[in-house]
Amino acid sequence: MNKLILASIFFTTLTLTACDKKTENNASSETEVSKQKVTLSKNVNADIKHDLGIIDEISAKKAEEALKFQPEVSKAVQNNNKAELKAIVEKMETYVDQFNDDLDKLPLKSTEGLSVKEKLKDANKLGLDLAEEGIKEKPDSKEINELQDKAIKLQHEILTEVQDLKKRTDTKS
């Protein structure tokens, strides 16, 4: 297994966490989202600030948890231990499911906050998909590159959106 690919998987996962593999519950999640859309504000600075604050809080907490994967991944990569890597990816799946559940439970007030939340969930899923592809017996380098490109693009979108929202709400306070 290519150490560069594994390092990239770990880096991408951690990076995406700082800024979903959840299929069984997508229907209820979509219902939650559509219920929220009815009651969410748009362009209300106080609501946007609230949402960014609670999203930042949960993201920071989850980033700390993600750092715990680093020594495990490094050790497994050094030893080229596929069983350990598979176990780590399974832990990552649990982590991503919990993170996305926590995001879904946030009491958001704005459509802008909802947008950021949904992009974070998509980023979590991409990170997990990348990890799963990387531990396959014969990883598809084209698929890995595509997933990495999507992850980088989405990460940039999230960062830009959050920065723009913070700038807008700070200047219009």
pTM: 0.77
How many Cα neighbours within 13 Å face the side chain of 171?
A: 6
- pLDDT value at position 172? 58
Q: Which residue range(s) make up the domain with 157?
A: 3-20+43-171
Express each pLDDT in 130-140 by its tens digit.
888 888 888 89
- pLDDT value at position 108? 97
**Residue 38: inside a domain, yes or no?**
no
- pLDDT value at position 67? 82
Express each pLDDT in 2-18 by its tens digit.
443 444 455 455 544 44
**Residue 70: inside a domain, yes or no?**
yes
In this structure, is the dihedral angle defined by the CA atoms of residues 50, 51, 57 and 60, taken in order, positive or negative? negative
Of the candidates 101, 123, 117, the residue with the CA atom closest to the CA atom of residue 12:
123
Express each pLDDT in 25-53 by its tens digit.
444 444 455 444 458 999 999 999 999 99
Per the structure, the count of domains in the chain is 1
**Residue 131: inside a domain, yes or no?**
yes
**Residue 73: inside a domain, yes or no?**
yes
**Residue 65: inside a domain, yes or no?**
yes
pLDDT, averaged across the chain: 80
